[in-house]
Amino acid sequence: MRVKHLASHILGQMAARISEDWQQMYGHPIYFLETFVDPERFRGTCYRAANWVVLGNTTGRGKQSNSYIPNRSIKQVLGYPLISVDKTFPPAAGESRMKPGRRRMDVNLDELDKVLDGARQAPLSEADYDKLKGALHALAAMIVRPRTSEKTRAAVEEMAAGETCETAADSESPCTGHGRNGAQAFAGAQKIAIAHPALNHGDRCQECGKGNVYGQKEPRVLVRIVGQAPLAATVYSLERLRCGACGLVFTAQEPEEVGPEKYDETAAAMIAQLKYGSATPFYRLEQLEAQLGIPLPAATQWEIVEETAELIKPARDELIRQAAQGKVLHNDDTSMRVLKLKRPEGNARTGVFTSGIVSTNEGRSIALFFTGAQHAGENLADVLKPRAAELPAPIQMCDALSRNMPKLPGGVEILVANCLAHGRRQFVEVAANFPSECRYVLEMLGQIYGHDAEAREQRLGPEQRLHFHQQHSGPVIEQLHGWLEAQLAQKKTEPNSGLGKAITYLLRHWRPLTAFLRVAGSPLDNNIVERALKRAVVHRKNALFYRTRHGAQVGDLFMSLIHTCQLCGANSFDYLTELQRHAKELAANPAEWMPWNYRETLARTEPVSHSA
């Protein structure tokens, strides 16, 4: 049987009733249809015959692509509107439509004053009404504060009954305290003890002459802060004397504290701290130092940090070895640019990434960064290679992307937990369109985070925390799971809507998302590595790129050491300085020179060197 124009006829019949069917099924209509046609295989004749409109071409890149190079066939995009569309989008009777954009309106204060004065005498005219309404709407749009938080209250944008739009300062109780930092907060400051010039402990009081004075437990403390250049220079002028008879020149001896190198260890540590710890590009530091009268070319800065990186590399290698023994390993990655990156032959991958890995074990955290063509899962597999075989399977915390999963050799196991914050973010992003449903999910997840915070306050161990979550968070999780399944099973939510996709994400990854109810020590989210990757993101924003793979490896080394110091509460500038001063000891025993124990090692070695 041959039927002419059958395809276009079926398309027309489908377009005529799909919106009504969708309304009955999911509670709202459809306004626009879209499809794709591969021009290398088809021409899309049936769509064109059914009055579908060619909108353009795709870019040839998938949603997860990290480059601008097409990696799949470029398709033609065709669309078909199901409603009558003009410039103002007029709504049909009994049906909600997109709001029309407000037309431009020039209004000044004098005109508004005249409109308000005229309203006292007679009703507003249509033109004055539009002018006043437009001004009020424009004012309301300007004073609405944008959402800067993913907290439940900020995401759903709903106010409690009787609450007004007052500022945070008016609605919250004032904070106690003066808000200033006490002297104990200045851990890196120079400490100078000043004794009383005339009195000692036990002397007679000079005022009354009757009692004795005794030292107080807490001295009076003054804090004075001075400004200085990030890198300072000292010019030593050594006097020279020449004999008039023999011509021999006698030069003054330099002070003992003057080292043989022009740039000492503190200069290299400060440049690395500014570049890789604070994301200050070399050229920007060069400009700053030039303004302060200290020439410091960008090329010189690179040479300094390159030499230093080679000197302290054993510390980074030891971090990798100890990170492999961790109980929980978080991993994720972000895009990066390397201008000159050689790839292996046959490698069709075009993206470049900086992977972040944070390993935690017994309250100690280690941060590692790796930049190159490998994904976070591949870098994690490399980190786990030196892991001791007798250790139990580690817990991997990551989001649900497949590229975060390591390809491990046979017999090697790993317990996978997915980030609950990623699942929560799915609902935060669609909360404006589905406020009531998203509020319910966010509040349920908020209870789980509340229980986790309570477990931290009580300082529960891994097993105790597991039992605590099973007792308190288990019922919440079961209730939430039932609600999510009912939304799709009872067709309360359209699966392809934003809310439907968020629900599907949670249900698809439900088991790894709830690993904290089955595995002792499993965290709720991957936020610790997300915060670590911000260091690489800010560096990418300020410096834009690495020139070579070698430059990226130097940056990864310093970022790993600096961020590990931050996680351990160590002074990264002091740590980098001491690593250079004790490079031989570091190479001999790197485990004794980690951010959490290098101070103890210094305390043991310095008395020996002084006595010798």
Of 85-94, 200-209, 350-359, 411-420, where does mean pLDDT reach its minimum? 85-94
* pLDDT of 96 over the 80 cut: no
Question: Residue 169's pLDDT band (boundaries 50, 70, 90)?
Answer: very low
Q: What is the model's pLDDT at position 381?
A: 94
Rg of the chain taking only CA atoms, in angstroms: 34
Asked if residues 27 and 56 have their Cβ atoms less than 8 Å apart, the reply is: no
SS3 state of residue 267:
helix
DSSP strand pairing (546-548 vs 53-57): unpaired
Mean pLDDT of 368-376: 94
At 351, list the tokens.
């993206």
Q: What is the model's pLDDT at position 526?
A: 94
Positive or negative torsion for Cα 569, 573, 576, 577: negative
Torsion of CA 382, 387, 392, 393, to 10 degrees: 0
How do residues 198-255 score in pLDDT, each as one tens digit? 888 888 888 888 889 888 888 888 888 888 889 999 998 989 999 989 989 999 998 8
Question: Residue 83's pLDDT band (boundaries 50, 70, 90)?
Answer: confident
Asked if residues 563 and 368 have their Cβ atoms less than 8 Å apart, the reply is: no
What lies within 8 Å, CB to CB, of 162 at 6+ separation is none
Q: Single out the residue of 478, 465, 472 nearest to residue 522, CA to CA.
A: 465
* pLDDT of 360 over the 80 cut: yes
Backbone phi and psi for residue 359, each to the nearest 5 degrees, phi listed first: -105, 130
Element (H, E) at 369: strand 364-372
Residue 288 one-letter amino acid: L
Residue 372: DSSP 8-state? E
* pLDDT of 197 over the 80 cut: yes
Instruction: Give CA–CA dist 271/284, Å, rounded.
Output: 11
Instruction: Give CA–CA dist 536/551, Å, rounded.
Output: 14
What lies within 8 Å, CB to CB, of 117 at 6+ separation is none
Of 163-177, 236-250, 463-477, where does mean pLDDT reach its minimum? 163-177
Q: What is the model's pLDDT at position 87?
A: 37
Higher pLDDT, 467 or 495: 467
- Tell me the CB-side half-sphere exposure of residue 373, using CA atoms within 13 A: 12
Instruction: Give CA–CA dist 373/353, Å, rounded.
Output: 6
User: If you average pLDDT over each of 59-68, 348-357, 439-448, 600-609, which comes out highest?
Assistant: 439-448
User: If you average pLDDT over each of 30-39, 153-162, 572-581, which comes out highest?
Assistant: 572-581
Torsion of CA 321, 324, 328, 333, to 10 degrees: 90
Angle of CA points 132, 134, 137, to nearest 5°: 110
Q: What is the model's pLDDT at position 209?
A: 84
Counting residues of the chain whose pLDDT is more than 70, the rounded percentage is: 88
Positive or negative torsion for Cα 221, 226, 232, 237: negative
Q: Map 163-214 to HEC letters.
A: CCCCCHHHHCCCCCCCCCCCHHHCCCCCCCCCCCCCCCCCCECCCCCCCECC
* pLDDT of 167 over the 80 cut: no
Burial class of 84 by CB neighbour count within 10 A (0 to 12, 13 to 18, 19+) = exposed
Asked if residues 150 and 425 have their Cβ atoms less than 8 Å apart, the reply is: yes
What lies within 8 Å, CB to CB, of 250 at 6+ separation is 240, 241, 242, 243
Higher pLDDT, 608 or 233: 233
CA distances from 19 to 264, 442, 497 (A): 73, 31, 15
What lies within 8 Å, CB to CB, of 494 at 6+ separation is 22, 25, 26, 28, 500
Question: Residue 161's pLDDT band (boundaries 50, 70, 90)?
Answer: very low
Residue 607 one-letter amino acid: P
Residue 338 one-letter amino acid: V
Instruction: Give CA–CA dist 363/386, Å, rounded.
Output: 21
Cα distance from N-terminal residue to C-terminal residue, the chain: 104
How do residues 122-141 score in pLDDT, each as one tens digit? 888 888 887 788 788 777 76
Question: Residue 106's pLDDT band (boundaries 50, 70, 90)?
Answer: low
Q: What is the model's pLDDT at position 95?
A: 47
Higher pLDDT, 351 or 1: 351
Instruction: Give CA–CA dist 271/282, Å, rounded.
Output: 8
Backbone phi and psi for residue 524, each to the nearest 5 degrees, phi listed first: -80, -35
Mean pLDDT of 296-325: 96
Asked if residues 339 and 322 have their Cβ atoms less than 8 Å apart, the reply is: no
Q: What is the model's pLDDT at position 63?
A: 67
CA distances from 594 to 133, 355, 365 (A): 65, 22, 12
Q: Single out the residue of 343, 188, 268 nearest to residue 557, CA to CA.
A: 268
At 108, list the tokens.
């000044």
Q: What is the model's pLDDT at position 469?
A: 96
At 578, list the tokens.
């001491």
Q: Single out the residue of 528, 530, 558, 531 nearest to residue 543, CA to CA.
A: 558
Asked if residues 135 and 107 have their Cβ atoms less than 8 Å apart, the reply is: yes
DSSP strand pairing (249-251 vs 240-242): antiparallel
Q: Map 561-577 to HEC letters.
A: HHHHHHHHCCCHHHHHH
Q: What is the model's pLDDT at position 40?
A: 86
* pLDDT of 275 over the 70 cut: yes
Question: Residue 369's pLDDT band (boundaries 50, 70, 90)?
Answer: very high
Q: What's the length of the chain? A: 612
At 457, list the tokens.
């306050």
How do residues 389-424 score in pLDDT, each as one tens digit? 899 999 999 999 989 999 887 777 899 999 999 999
Q: What is the model's pLDDT at position 477?
A: 95
Instruction: Give CA–CA dist 295/241, Å, rounded.
Output: 30
What lies within 8 Å, CB to CB, of 87 at 6+ separation is none
Mean pLDDT of 106-124: 78
Q: What is the model's pLDDT at position 44?
A: 86
Q: What is the model's pLDDT at position 190?
A: 86
Q: What is the model's pLDDT at position 97?
A: 44
* pLDDT of 168 over the 50 cut: no
Instruction: Give CA–CA dist 110/131, Å, rounded.
Output: 12
Question: Residue 91's pLDDT band (boundaries 50, 70, 90)?
Answer: very low
